[in-house]
Amino acid sequence: MKISLAVVASSLTVCSVLAQENSVEKAAISELPSLLAIYKDIHSHPELSGHEQRTAALVAKELRAAGCDVTENFGRYEQPNLKCYGVIGVMKNGNGPTVLVRTDMDALPVQEDTGLPYASSVTTKNDDGMDVHVMHACGHDAHMAAFIGTARLLQKMREDWSGTIIFVGQPAEEAIGGANALLRGGLYNRFGKPSFALGFHDKADLQTGHIGVTPGYTYANVDSVNLTVRGEGGHGAYPHKTKDPVVLSAEIINALQTIASRENNPLDPVVVTVGSIHGGTKHNIIPDEVKLQLTVRTYKPEVRERVLADIERIAKGCAMAADVPADRMPVVEVQKDGLPATYNNPDLTKRLVAVWKKILGDANVDIVDPTMGGEDFAEYSLPDHSIPAVDFHIGAVDPEKIAQYKKEKKELPSLHSSKFAPVPEPTIKVGIIGMTSAVLELMKSK
Ligand SMILES: [Zn+2]
Ligand SMILES: [Zn+2]
């Protein structure tokens, strides 16, 4: 009798778990028509980083309609004259953990070339006063639609969870540090420090219907370095009377390659790219200086610190070898707007993978390789990763398209490409299911 009761009890638990999984999918499907309309509306009205006025108002309106207590225009940039369009929606439901759910809201200065009926034709002036086209070329529009869907579902499913959800509509993911601005504005002081932080991003080479995730480091530390190579200019015909910064720059650029190839443990990923070099005005003038711009990508903090120091040492060493006077040594400036690496807490990742496999099927959840890209989602887990966080991927590409590109040995349009747009369905639905089921797992009340 005891045994059969246990069997009944456990099968009831299984039934209720299954019922919840089905109800997440059903509820997501019922919200889809209105979310697809919202997605297309946001897609055709993209706004650049730091200018997300219309988008933020729309997200705020939808979070309010979903039952959140909403704060608008939240956050503070380092530049005091910039208005921050952060949207914070708090959904309280009794005692329990606090979970942060983040979407980004900004678009990019890209001229859309997708041919979609709802393609953007928006143009604006960028912060330097240049005329630019604007496009949601990173899929943040799909994130917002899935984020709004998640808020709606969790409101409907209040009986299944308890605690507090902080929905964060983040501006300026692509530039000027939106996550940082929210934290500087007192996100955790005002709304509470979360027990967990969750984010998602569409993936331009993962098939729609799938969730992908990387345990541990998933995105890199990103540092921008300005390197001014100084010499002593003069006539191009009399190089012996100069210290030529052009030749010295060439030496430095080659020597920088040895950071990754000779100085670094090959098991620690490092990228040092010189993306820009400018110097001189004319064939026969040796300039006084050459300006280089570098992007530096690493994972571990100690590797980051060492690589940045290596750049300075190599630049100065090359300058000394070229007999540049001590007061004309290269100037190395590491910009303050560097991003920390995004680290997916391995235990939390494992827990969520198990949930997603149950709801989507084993074959639709992929462990994917990390990348050397950057994401300011990292900021939410704090520099010491003390808030367990996971930033997962939502597949966004038609599987037939992936197969066709593979057959033709072509690269799929990447994020930020003028030809990139997620397939809205089922990408948005899977985003909602992935985020909602993750929150329910962390906040389940039974
Ligand atoms: Zn992007
Ligand atoms: Zn993005």
pTM for this structure?
A: 0.90
Of all ligands present, the nearest one to the C-alpha of 417 is 1
Would you state the pLDDT for residue 20? 67
Pairing assessment for the beta strands 211-213 and 123-125 based on DSSP bridges: unpaired
Would you state the pLDDT for residue 22? 76
Q: Following DSSP, what letter does each residue of 105-152 receive, concatenated? A: --BBS----S--TT----EEE-TTS-EEE-B--S-HHHHHHHHHHHHH
E-strand stretches of 7-130: 69-74, 86-93, 98-104, 123-125
Q: Does 305 have pLDDT greater than 70?
A: yes
Ligand 1 centroid–CA 174 distance in Å is 6
Of residues 13 and 135, more confidently modeled = 135
Residue type, 257: Q
Ligand 1 centroid–CA 389 distance in Å is 19
Ligand 2 centroid–CA 419 distance in Å is 15
Pairing assessment for the beta strands 331-334 and 211-213 based on DSSP bridges: unpaired
Of all ligands present, the nearest one to the C-alpha of 200 is 2
Length of the chain: 446
Of all ligands present, the nearest one to the C-alpha of 139 is 2
Burial 190-219 (b: 16+ CB within 10 A, else e): ebeebbbbbbbbbbbbbbbbbbbbbbebbb
Ligand 2 centroid–CA 258 distance in Å is 31
**For 148-174, what is the mean pLDDT?**
97
**For 194-220, what is the mean pLDDT?**
97
Q: Give the residue carrying structure tokens 């398209």.
A: 401
Ligand 2 centroid–CA 159 distance in Å is 33
Consecutive H or E run containing 214: none
Would you state the pLDDT for residue 176? 77
Q: Does 16 have pLDDT greater than 90?
A: no
Could you tell me the pLDDT band of residue 445, with boundaries at 50, 70 and 90? confident
CB-proximal residues (5 Å) to ion ligand 1: 138
Q: Following DSSP, what letter does each residue of 245-297 receive, concatenated? A: HHHHHHHHHHHHHHIIIIIS-TTS-EEEEEEEEEE-SSTTEE-SEEEEEEEEE
Would you state the pLDDT for residue 175? 85
Of all ligands present, the nearest one to the C-alpha of 175 is 1
Ligand 1 centroid–CA 16 distance in Å is 39
Would you state the pLDDT for residue 323? 98
Ligand 2 centroid–CA 168 distance in Å is 15
Could you tell me the pLDDT band of residue 114, with boundaries at 50, 70 and 90? very high
What percent of the chain shows pLDDT beyond 70? 95
Q: Does 40 have pLDDT greater than 80?
A: yes
Q: d(Cα 59, Cα 125) in Å, to the nearest integer?
A: 24
Q: Does 77 have pLDDT greater than 60?
A: yes
Nearest to 200 by CA among 431, 446, 28: 431
Would you state the pLDDT for residue 5? 53
Q: Does 64 have pLDDT greater than 90?
A: yes
Burial 74-83 (b: 16+ CB within 10 A, else e): bbbbeeeebe
Please provide the average confidence, as pLDDT, over all residues in the chain.
Answer: 95
Ligand 1 centroid–CA 107 distance in Å is 8
Of all ligands present, the nearest one to the C-alpha of 396 is 2
Pairing assessment for the beta strands 234-235 and 331-334 based on DSSP bridges: unpaired
Could you tell me the pLDDT band of residue 446, with boundaries at 50, 70 and 90? low
Q: Does 7 have pLDDT greater than 70?
A: no
E-strand stretches of 280-376: 285-286, 289-298, 331-334, 342-344, 365-367
Q: d(Cα 21, Cα 384) in Å, to the nearest integer?
A: 34
Ligand 1 centroid–CA 213 distance in Å is 17
Q: Does 169 have pLDDT greater than 60?
A: yes
Q: Does 179 have pLDDT greater than 80?
A: yes
CB-proximal residues (5 Å) to ion ligand 2: 138
Ligand 1 centroid–CA 302 distance in Å is 26
Consecutive H or E run containing 68: none
Ligand 1 centroid–CA 443 distance in Å is 30
Ligand 1 centroid–CA 375 distance in Å is 8
From residue 106, how far is each of 5, 53, 169, 280 by CA, in Å?
54, 10, 10, 37
Ligand 1 centroid–CA 52 distance in Å is 15
What percent of the chain shows pLDDT beyond 90? 92
Pairing assessment for the beta strands 331-334 and 221-230 based on DSSP bridges: antiparallel
Instruction: Read off the pLDDT of residues 309-362 as tens digits, 9 standing for 90 and up.
Output: 999 999 999 999 999 999 999 999 999 889 999 999 999 999 999 999 999 999
Ligand 2 centroid–CA 90 distance in Å is 24
Residue type, 346: P
